[in-house]
Amino acid sequence: MGKKNLRISLLGAGTVGSGVWSLLQENADLLYAQTGCRFEVRHVLVRSLDKPRKAPIPTELLTTDAQRAVLDPEVDVVIELLGGLEPARTLIEQALQAGKHVITANKMVMALAGDRLITLASAQKVRLLYEASVAGSLPILTSLQGALAGNRITRVVGIVNSTTNFILRTMEEGLEQGTPAEDSYRIALQKAQELGYAEADPTSDVEGYDAQYKMAILARLAFLQYVPVEAVYREGITHLSGRDMVWAKRLGYGIKLLGTAERLPDGRLNVRVHPTLIPLENPLCVIRGAFSGVWLQGNGFQDMLMHGMAAGARPTASAVVGDLIEVARHPKPLPIPDPSLQPGETAPIESLTFRYFVRAQGTEPALESVRRALGEWGILRLEEDPEAGEFVAFTAPLQEGYFQEQMAKLRAQSGGAIQVIRVLE
């Protein structure tokens, strides 16, 4: 520390890599004032040397030689911004093994192989930081590991995928402007793709994989318990219809793809990602478009919501640079094992209890059988639209496993379309 330079290899010079480069140049004096360090980029790993870039990175820094970028003995920190599982995971592992600090924005690597890499970094006495992997610029991971680490966290609820948040918001706007309900998802997805918020193959976002990775990482740090990705329940937004949003809004709710991690009364942890009805006055409902937000509950601070620009070059670069500052100031890891790697039990979603929003569409005898079944379990609110051959209901709290099984039977028996969305308590 002190007056020396921190020498960096940047793996990737796409949107985020260019953002990191630019922020390091623009704020160089500020970073020096804050750390006493100069941040010096030595290598920038790219796929092609000739491609035009968003930032004016000097060509002599560009390399296509990953081993050179990762293993150069004159490099202190490797910043991995390649995305995807491989070769990112292997390069991170090589960098750690070579005694270099690693900063990554890679949620897939940190969710699927994080436990192994955290252990390796600790054994190598280097830092492995990944604030940019969850909710972009928001200092959520840093706060959970630092300022809020004296709290027993009870619940984490997040809008952690801004692509789906943008799509859902665009669906709402489209419906307000008269888009037919059955087209609203397709049109919103297309708009997200045109604006660069969604990829050509949007599966990772719209099927909830991205949010699943992020919730595995968040839950691990919040609850100090190792959470395998496959223990995170995942449901995307592709089955949502504009009709759901029209009804939700009419009844005072919005629909968001929420990630939730919570400690159950029996001590087990449940982590899940699924579309959720949220009361319009809930601050989570204000989180719109390309923003993300995470609501935390803990036994000290009680309730806290962080909310901000999560995606894009600059916000992600801000998180990476924040991690660089941490490495510059505190290059030694804590001399204690990372408590987030402790084993612990997780509970499947089937054992939880929810209130459900149910939307049934079909012909009358079929609808009546659904209405009757719901009536037996307890309906808190029922709204009919006979012209559309449709009704919606809010159920009393019911156990997920039992309820979904019954709904599957009803779907088979009645032949009607039955949509089920959980409601935020």
How far, in Å, CA of 37 to CA of 31, rounded? Answer: 7
Choice from 265, 335, 343, 386 touching its own copies (CB under 8 A): 335
In 190-344, beta strands by DSSP E: 232-234, 253-263, 269-279, 291-298, 302-309
The answer to the question of residue 125 lying near its own copies (CB under 8 A) is no
Contact mark string toward its own copies, 279..298, x via CB under 8 A: --x-x--x----x------x
Which amino acid makes up residue 304?
Answer: M
Contact mark string toward its own copies, 233..272, x via CB under 8 A: ----------------------------------------
Choice from 155, 251, 301, 355 touching its own copies (CB under 8 A): 301
Q: Which is nearer to its own copies, 299 or 413 (CB)?
A: 299
User: Residue 144 CB: number of other CB atoms within 10 A?
Assistant: 24
Q: Which is nearer to its own copies, 138 or 393 (CB)?
A: 138
Distances (CA, A) of 80 to 103, 202, 209, 335: 6, 23, 20, 25
Which residue, among 281, 98, 124, has the nearest Cα to 116 in the 3D structure? 124
Contact mark string toward its own copies, 336..355, x via CB under 8 A: x--x----------------
Answer yes or no: 409 catalytic: no
The answer to the question of residue 324 lying near its own copies (CB under 8 A) is yes
Contact mark string toward its own copies, 207..226, x via CB under 8 A: -----------------x--
Q: Decide: 400 and 354 in contact? Cβ < 8 Å.
A: yes
Which residue, among 233, 210, 219, 213, has the nearest Cα to 344 in the 3D structure? 219
Q: Decide: 45 and 66 in contact? Cβ < 8 Å.
A: yes
CB 55 to its own copies: min, Å: 14
Find the helix or strand (DSSP H, E) in which 383 lies.
Answer: strand 379-385
CB 77 to its own copies: min, Å: 14
How far, in Å, CA of 221 to CA of 297, rounded? Answer: 14
Q: Which is nearer to its own copies, 80 or 131 (CB)?
A: 131
Choice from 47, 51, 330, 409 touching its own copies (CB under 8 A): 330
The interface region with its own copies, picked from 71-79, 237-245, 322-330, 364-372 by CB under 8 A, is 322-330
The answer to the question of residue 137 lying near its own copies (CB under 8 A) is yes
Task: Report residue 123 as tokens.
Answer: 């054994």
The answer to the question of residue 307 lying near its own copies (CB under 8 A) is yes
In 62-120, beta strands by DSSP E: 62-63, 77-80, 101-104
Distances (CA, A) of 45 to 78, 79, 359: 10, 10, 51
In 81-231, beta strands by DSSP E: 101-104, 128-129, 153-159
The interface region with its own copies, picked from 169-177, 226-234, 329-337, 361-369 by CB under 8 A, is 329-337
How far, in Å, CA of 377 to CA of 375, rounded? Answer: 5
- How many residues bind its own copies (CB under 8 A)? The answer is 59
Q: Which is nearer to its own copies, 36 or 228 (CB)?
A: 36
Q: Which is nearer to its own copies, 256 or 272 (CB)?
A: 256
Q: Using DSSP bridges, classify how beta strands 302-309 and 291-298 pair: parallel, antiparallel or unpaired.
A: antiparallel
CB 113 to its own copies: min, Å: 23
Q: Which residues bind its own copies (CB under 8 A)?
A: 1-2, 23, 26-27, 30-31, 33-36, 131, 136-139, 142-143, 146-152, 224, 281, 283, 286, 291, 298-309, 312, 314-315, 317-319, 321-322, 324-326, 329-330, 334-336, 339
The residues annotated as belonging to the active site are 214
